[in-house]
Every structure is written in C-alpha cells, then in structure tokens.
Amino acid sequence: MGETTVTDTTKGGKAVSPLAPASFPTLPAIDGVRFAAGAVGIKYQDRVDVMLAHVAAESTIAGVFTRSATRSAAVLDCQAKLARLSGEEGFAIVVNSGNSNTFTGKRGVTDVDLIAQAAADALGLPPSRVFTSSTGVIGEPLPAQKITAALPELARMLDVAGAEPAARAIMTTDTFPKGAVAHVDVDGTPVKIMGFAKGSGMIAPDMATMLGYIFTDAAIAPDALQQMLSTCNIASFNAVTVDSDTSTSDTVLIAATGRAGNPLITAPHAAFQAALLDVMQDLAHQIVRDGEGATKFVEVRVSGAETEADADRVARAIANSPLVKTAIAGEDPNWGRIVMAVGKSGAVADRDRLTIRFGDILVAENGWRAESYTEDAGATYMKQAELLIDVDLGLGDGAATVWTCDLTHGYIQINADYRS
C-alpha cells in the first residue's frame, strides 16, 4: 500500500487548519521499526484507517494513558500488558481510526483480543506483546474482522519508510497529519527520535482521542524510558487543552530499539529527555493548532504562584474558560475575563498583586489597569494568530505553561452537527 492508497485522509475535504505547519516533516527511518498502513473500510470506504508498527526484538517500550474512569478496552489492555511485560521479543502496535471501541461492553474486550491474536499470528509474536489503540465513534461495535483479515497483508508490507502513511492512518477529524523529529547526541552516539500523533481537541467529536507513537534507536532501559516519557508528558500532551474534555482512549507509546549503539541509558538522561520533550511538545502543539475551529494558538504562561499545582490550576482555568476563549476568537483584549478566570481557579491569588501581560504589553498590575495600557495596543496585539497570555500572581515561585486555542463558531459547527 504506502503512498498510493493515501488518497482521502481528510474527511469530506475539510479545509486544513489555518494554524497548520507549512509542511509535514520527513520522518526518518528508525533502525528496528517498520510500518504498514491500509484502508480496511471501518467507517469510510476509501480511507487509510489501520496502521501496523513492528518493533524489533530487544527493544524497550513504555506508555502513558488517559486517567478517564470510562477508558476503553484497548487502553485497559495496553496498561495490563505493560505492567506484566517480560522477555526480549519484538512488539507490535495496531491502531485503527473510525471506531473507538469504547463503551462496547464485553464484546469490546473480545475485539481487542482478536486483533492482538491476529497481529501476533502474522508476526510470530505472543499476543501479550501486541498493543492496540482505536479512535473514532463511541458506542458502536468495532468491525474487528476487517482488521484481522488485513493483518497478514499488512505484516508482509512492513517497511522502515512507512511512517508517514501510518501517521495518516490514525487521523480522524484532524485536518493535517502530525509528525516531529529530533536528533540528539547521547554520550557521543547520535540517536534519532521520531513520532507522530493525532487529535483535534483533547477529545475530537465522538472521535475519542489523542494518540501518539514515538520511536527512537537509542538504547534505554524500560524504567528510564517510562520515567522520561511520564516526565515529558506533563509539559507536553498533558499541557494542551482544546475544550477541557478528556478522551476515553488517550494513549502515548514510546519504543526504543537500541540499534544506535549508545551506552544503555538506565536513568533519566538530560540530553535525550530534552530532545524527547521537544518532539512531544511539537506534536502536542500541532494538536492544538488543529483544534476544532481554532483560529488562534495561545500560550498561557503563569508564574509567581504559591505552588506549581496552583500555577497549573490558574493556567488551565484561563485556557479552559469559554469566556476567555470566545474573547480571543473575537480579537477582544478582554483582560477582565482573565481576572475572572484567576479568581475561579481555586488557587491562592491576591487581586492586588496580579500582573497581566499580552506578550510584552503590560495590561494590568496592582489590582488596576496599567497606566501605560491602551485598548488600541491590546486590540492590535489580539489580531495576531499566535498569542501569549502571561500572568504573574506575585506570590511565590510556582510556574506552569499550557497551550490552547480559541473557541469559535467553527467549534460549534463541528460539534453540534457531527453525527448527522
């Protein structure tokens, strides 16, 4: 399959987000990782909707997942398999779009097992080493047999150069595929990190999910890999919000093949972790840039909080406030709504110590609009596509940054009419 079948990845010819990156990066081959993608007709006939990844023996793997209490059968299965992992055989990852296999009862569990068994058979692996994700509509039975029937052919087609079709196969309401790359020197050995992701909202409409898959040729022990993934996740995928709605299927997996030949990383490694964070932030920002109806990319930076947790609370209260997000959509420098969001966050705050800036423009301080601030300056700033809202609580050292987008008519259109 490969390039030739990648004909209809944007559903219904939806326009690409105005905030999309100029181009999709070239995803380098990672020694030990091969991909295949195909169209099996889960929801749309001519759409590439399944991807298979194979990771060579002696690799390591780690994952982070949604904390939703109604998480999907596939997420529960991945978590159970990661917890019990042993041996040095390879891994497989199977992902389908078009159906999330969520809230599908006992049948959903059986379908995960069927897919894992079929991939295991096709690749000569135990099913305990096959990880699956499903993204798409909630509450419809997954046509698993369409996937299992295609797996032998997908296994034959596996190729080190197949990452881009794989990145496209996992898209749902995404308007562009999302990929990122980093090169980093690990103690004298050059290693590569490559990843792709999907998501168009923390949960896209019915299309449960943010998914991310990251691959590196570095040699990393499982505990160190998990620790670095979890740490980077806090400041990347966990630091973006489109609409505050958390999916039932969010999954990020990372696999490390060790083929680069670096000395085994057995504890968090500063240079590698910094490069991994770059890749994960890049992917997370692309998800925000593809936020449903988004016309503005917004960084909310909070400092001076009593604690990190308070800073995070304030940043999320601002980033998730419908009133703040609609003001941004209207290019209205409505800083009163930011004061409101700080107040409702639950964090310790003192109105009279609060400083608010739009980019470099001082807007408010000492419990009052800044003397130097003019509505004209604020209104001009708001016309930009990339905005920084900077809030200093003036109380302590707690800081946090989250990224979000505006709330527009486009969001309402997409979500009020999605299933019909």
Binding residues for substrate: 172, 198, 209, 292, 415, 420
> Of residues 256-275, which lie at the interface with a second copy (CB under 8 A)?
none
Strand pairing report for 50-55 and 33-38 = antiparallel
For 99-123, give the secondary structure using H, E and C.
Answer: ECCCCCHHHHHHHHHHHHHHHHHHH
Asked if 407 interacts with a second copy (CB under 8 A), we say: yes
The whole-angstrom separation of Cα 23 and Cα 17 is 12
| C-alpha closest to that of 226 among 59, 64, 57 | 64
Q: Which is nearer to a second copy, 30 or 207 (CB)?
A: 207
Residue 295: partners with Cβ closer than 8 Å, 6 or more residues away:
18, 19, 329, 385, 405, 406, 408, 410
Residue from 102, 135, 233, 251 in contact with a second copy (CB under 8 A) = 102
Q: Could you say which of 28, 152, 222, 343 contacts a second copy (CB under 8 A)?
A: 343
Contact criterion met (CB below 8 Å) for 409 and 319: no
Q: Does 79 help bind a second copy (rule: CB under 8 A)?
A: no
Distance CA 144, CA 38 (A): 14
Contact set for a second copy, span 314-333 (CB under 8 A): 320-323, 326-327, 329-330, 332
Q: For the CB of residue 5, give the shortest distance to a second copy in the complex, in Å.
A: 29
Of the candidates 128, 134, 149, the residue with the CA atom closest to the CA atom of residue 208 = 134
Pairing state of beta strands 91-99 and 130-137?
Answer: parallel
Using CB under 8 A, pick the residue from 360, 371, 376, 417 that binds a second copy: 417
Q: Which is nearer to a second copy, 233 or 345 (CB)?
A: 345
Interface with a second copy, residue 354, by CB under 8 A: yes
Catalytic residue among 60, 148, 209, 408: 209
Subset of 161-220 contacting a second copy (CB under 8 A): 201, 203, 205-206, 208
4 counts as catalytic? no
Q: State both tokens at 196.
A: 């792709």
For the annotated catalytic residues, the residue numbers are 209
Give the interface with a second copy as residue ranges (CB under 8 A).
66, 68-71, 102-107, 137-139, 201, 203, 205-206, 208, 243-248, 320-323, 326-327, 329-330, 332, 334-337, 339-352, 354, 364, 366-369, 407-409, 411-413, 415-420
